[in-house]
Chains A and B, each alone.
Chain A
């Protein structure tokens, strides 16, 4: 097995582990602390956008995608232009990369990390990425990095959360203008990990993944299919934007569920949009044939997504921009 080991281990089977001795179970439990979430200097979450472009957090928040990405309606002329020129080739090149970046049963060989733990970790990363005003793209990439790393390397329970923030950090360095600082990320883990540990794990992850980080994401395909839809005759921009927002929320939920790792991002994106259109009872839904998937595959994925949605209505309502959530009475949640 391709296990990462720290030095002086007696056997081949060691895992990425924090510095810690075997017998310190109590300490171990303590270090695995998702919850006490100290916010350091992060301050309260705020959605306000400062003037774009300038340094620091202002620009990050101005990204605006963080709250369900309800900006599809505001696609700029430039972006539409670029889409017209390049959309099809982007789609083909991204889609062509999907299988290479698809993690295959990432937990199959994990001795400690379970699907539940993964769910918990991703369920934690979701509010964390929102806290920093990061894009859905960054979150998707982080989960992809996480899964692909898990597929290569057994990870100890007590550094699984560290792996989560490391994956998020790497993803942000890849696609965000202003990645969160290491200090901020460590503070979110209640400082149970050290800067050095994060740096080391970052090295290991980058190395293991061979710097192959430009994975196609659900976020990309959501964007693409939404653009295709806007280009279609008789497109309803409002419906397209709502469907995109709801689908983004659904896709976000699906990241946390291990069962959905078997679906390719483009399939998840198309199915999320299809489900969103149905849930919102849209008159001119996206023609799912653009995804190129057979109907039964789409339907299977949509069914699973619907089940997921039904189990997580409350969480979903929190992932949606309020104007979209209001259009979803079945969420049954007062906001």
Chain B
């Protein structure tokens, strides 16, 4: 080993040279610009055995590898055959374009009615496309732009599931939303994130099999108009933040938070769903489409054209949902367009300027003359019920910050005083434990007490809320 350290660079180079293989042609013709067809090839290094060769060698100036020692394979126009190995060991079969469906193991499908899951640890030798008939399709639950959701029942264990049936596109193949949702959810195991059981791939459709959760926050609020029970709001918000904190820590943004995407079980468990627009967070230079968040829950920075999203993107939506749960009306139910949406926000929070929001003037759609100048108000002036719950107004105002940087993070929000009367054990739960495993944590009945308790309001508000898109 030691002598290796002293080895001369020349010796090393000659060894490398021997091992080095170069490839030809790869870049050559890929003329990105007609005149710039200069991308030749990438020469590969061939690494020798794993010893400490060169360990101590100082990085040499690159010039120490003489040009003439570089072996470059001549480019050849024709007879390119990179595959050295004899082809006779490979048996290929001619068939028409159906590799996806007609696997040689197609007989396996007849063997047993067992659910064949993507995630099953079964032998890799046979493709195990889950079979759609492992599940009985019950009634339709909803229809989206690229998927239809059905209630379903497992034929194996009788459990209810939600079947999200995604049509594979003739043109572009598997929709990107399905790919993201499946790949992200596979890595997420948390009590407040909807569980992906299974992926079933057939010729025309891709079906994601989720745990069945019987309602969502939107329906729940419609059913209990006028604001939810304050204790329930706290439990829902806590769970929402818990789920978000979990994904944010894992480099994932949800990007499409809205009540419809928060599933609520009959015991009150809240689960984040619909990760079709989510993606692993990628710093810093990607622009995301700024058309992803439903307008009502879209933060002002995105409305103003910022494409530098970060975890604070989701936190604005949390603030809106919080207010909506307490007040019973959407926080900023814009009726028309982006301009209208922004006006509604500024009416409450004040029209931003460089003092309150450094950099706002450089956002693409920020034109000071287009906005009425409003001063900031207390949130309770806009949403009176915030004043009835300790610390609720403070928490809401820390979430509903126009300047993204000032928004509370999910983790920090969980430590807000608003939650201080909850049992401390809630902060010690393991990821997969539901908050309802903690004694004395349970959903309160929504009997309309909340309406009586807080008086007045909101038949008008509900009208708006029902028309949400």
User: Which residues does A use to contact B, with CB under 8 Å?
Assistant: 1-11, 13-17, 19-22, 29, 32, 34-37, 44-45, 51-53, 59, 62-65, 69, 71-72, 74-79, 81-83, 85-86, 89-90, 93-94, 97, 111-117, 119-124, 126-128, 130-131, 135, 137, 152, 154, 156-157, 169-170, 172-179, 181-183, 194-204, 206-208, 210-214, 219-220, 223-224, 227, 253, 256-259, 262, 275, 278-279, 296, 299-300, 302-304, 306-315, 318, 330, 332
- A19 touching B90, Cβ below 8 Å: no
8 contacts between A and B (CB under 8 A): A2-B123, A63-B287, A71-B285, A78-B312, A86-B311, A116-B23, A203-B174, A275-B59
CB of B290, distance to nearest CB on chain A (Å):
4
- Judge whether B91 is part of the interface by a CB distance below 8 angstroms: yes
A79 touches B32 (CB 8 A): no
Known contacts A6-B98, A114-B85, A173-B175; 10 further A-B pairs (Cβ under 8 A) = A4-B99, A7-B98, A75-B283, A86-B248, A123-B27, A127-B30, A172-B176, A256-B42, A262-B47, A315-B42
Docked Cα-Cα span, A51 to B287, in Å, equals: 11
Q: Do A310 and B287 have beta carbons less than 8 Å apart? A: no
A82 adjacent to B39 (CB under 8 Å): no
What's the minimum C-beta distance from B44 to chain A, rounded to whole angstroms?
Answer: 4
Contact B80 A318 (CB under 8 A): no
Check if B172 sits within 8 Å of A181, measured CB to CB.
Answer: yes
Neighbouring A residues of B359 by C-beta, 8 Å? 77
B32 touches A44 (CB 8 A): yes
Chain A contact residues, majority secondary structure: helix
B89–A111 CB distance below 8 A: yes
In angstroms, how far is the closest chain B Cβ from the Cβ of A175? 6
B199 near A: Cβ within 8 Å?
Answer: yes
Q: Looking at the complex, which one of B27, B63, B405 makes contact with A77 (CB distance below 8 Å)? A: B405
When the two chains form their complex, are residues A53 and B52 in contact, meaning their CB atoms are under 8 A apart?
no
List B contacts of A34 (CB < 8 A). Answer: 25-26, 29, 80
Q: Top 4 nearest A-B pairs by Cβ distance?
A: A123-B26, A173-B176, A311-B43, A17-B92
Please state if A256 and B44 are interface contacts (CB–CB under 8 Å).
yes
Known: A52-B287, A52-B305. Is A202-B251 also a contact (CB below 8 A)?
A: no
Q: Contact: A29 with B81, CB < 8 Å?
A: yes
Contact A59 B289 (CB under 8 A): yes
Question: At the interface, yes or no: B136 with Cβ under 8 Å from chain A?
Answer: no
Minimum CB distance partner of A313 in chain B:
B62
CB within 8 A of B283: which of A77, A83, A170, A206? A83
Q: Is B279 touching A135 in the complex (CB atoms < 8 A)?
A: no
What is the 8 Å Cβ interface bit string for chain B, positions 267-304, against chain A (1 contact, 0 not)?
Answer: 00000000000011111111111110000000001000
> A175, B311: Cβ atoms under 8 Å?
no
* Given A123-B42, A175-B280, A90 contacting B250 (CB threshold 8 A): yes
* Complex: A293 Cα to B25 Cα, angstroms: 36
Q: Please, what's the 1-or-0 string for B366-378, where 1 marks a CB less than 8 Å from any CB in chain A?
A: 0000000000000
Closest to A331 in B: B62
Residues in B90-121 with C-beta less than 8 Å from chain A? 90-104, 106, 118-119
User: Is A257 within 8 A of B42, CB to CB?
Assistant: yes
Pair A6/B99 contact, Cβ less than 8 Å: yes
Bound Cα distance A28, B39 (Å): 26
Closest to A112 in B: B83
**Contact: A312 with B43, CB < 8 Å?**
yes
Set of chain A residues within 8 Å of B55, measured between Cβ atoms: 296, 299-300, 303
Q: Which residues of chain A are within 8 angstroms of B93 by Cβ–Cβ distance?
A: 5-9, 14, 17
**Mask: chain B, 330-367; 1 = CB below 8 Å from A; 0 = not:** 00000000000000000000000000001100001000
B211 interface contact, C-beta 8 A: no
- Smallest CB–CB gap between A308 and chain B, Å? 5
Which of B39, B99, B118 touches A127 (beta carbons < 8 Å)? Answer: B39
Which B residues touch A318, using CB under 8 A? 38-39
Q: Among B149-157, B179-187, B382-390, B446-454, which stretch is in contact with chain A?
A: B179-187
Q: How far is the CA of A180 from the CA of B283 in the complex (A)?
A: 21
Q: How far is the CA of A89 from the CA of B45 in the complex (A)?
A: 34
Choose, from B14-22, B214-222, B233-241, the stretch at the interface. Answer: B14-22
Q: Which residue of A lies closest to B30 (CB)?
A: A127
Which residues between 52 and 82 of chain B lie within 8 Å of chain A, taking CB atoms? Answer: 52-57, 59-65, 70, 79-82
Contact B54–A4 (Cβ < 8 Å): no
Give me the interface of B with A, judged by CB distance under 8 Å. Answer: 16, 20-23, 25-34, 38-47, 50, 52-57, 59-65, 70, 79-85, 87, 89-104, 106, 118-119, 123-125, 127, 129, 168, 171-176, 179-180, 182-184, 186-187, 199, 201, 248-251, 279-291, 301, 305, 307-312, 358-359, 364, 404-405, 409, 411-412
* Residues of A close to B65: CB separation below 8 A: 307, 310-311
Q: Give Cα A22–Cα B92 distance, bound, in whole angstroms.
A: 7
Complex CA–CA separation, A330 to B65 (angstroms): 12
B45 adjacent to A223 (CB under 8 Å): no
A262 to chain B: which residues have CB within 8 Å?
A: 47
A63 and B307 CA atoms in complex are apart in Å by 10
- Within the complex, the shortest CB–CB distance from B122 to chain A, in Å, comes to 11
Least Cβ–Cβ distance between A193 and chain B, in angstroms: 10
Q: How close is A215's CB to chain B, nearest CB, in angstroms?
A: 9
Cross-chain contact of A201 among B79, B95, B99 (Cβ < 8 A): B99
Q: Are A207 and B92 in contact (CB under 8 A)?
A: no
Nearest Cβ distance between residue B316 and chain A, in whole angstroms? 12
Expressed in whole angstroms, the Cα–Cα distance for A204 and B127 within the complex equals 9
Chain A residues with CB under 8 A of B83: 112-114, 117, 157
Residues of B within 8 Å of A169, CB to CB, are: 173
**B79 CB to closest chain A CB, in angstroms?**
7
In the complex, the answer to whether B90 meets A303 with C-beta atoms within 8 Å is no
A296 touches B405 (CB 8 A): no
In the complex, A1 Cα to B124 Cα: how many Å? 9
| B-chain residues with CB within 8 Å of residue A199 when the two chains form the complex | 100, 168, 173-174
B305 to chain A, nearest CB (A): 6
Chain A, Cβ-Cβ closest to B183: A213
Say whether A82 contacts B283, CB under 8 Å: yes
B62 pairs with A203, CB closer than 8 A: no
Interface centre among B45, B52, B172 (most CB of A within 10 A): B45
Residues of A near B282 (CB, < 8 A) are 135, 137, 175, 219-220, 223
Assuming A13-B89, A157-B83, is B23 touching A89 (CB within 8 A)? no
Q: With A93-B251, A124-B30 in contact, do A15 and B289 touch (Cβ < 8 Å)?
A: no
User: How far does the alpha carbon of A74 sit from the alpha carbon of B104 in the complex, in Å?
Assistant: 53
- B95 nearest in chain A by CB position: A6
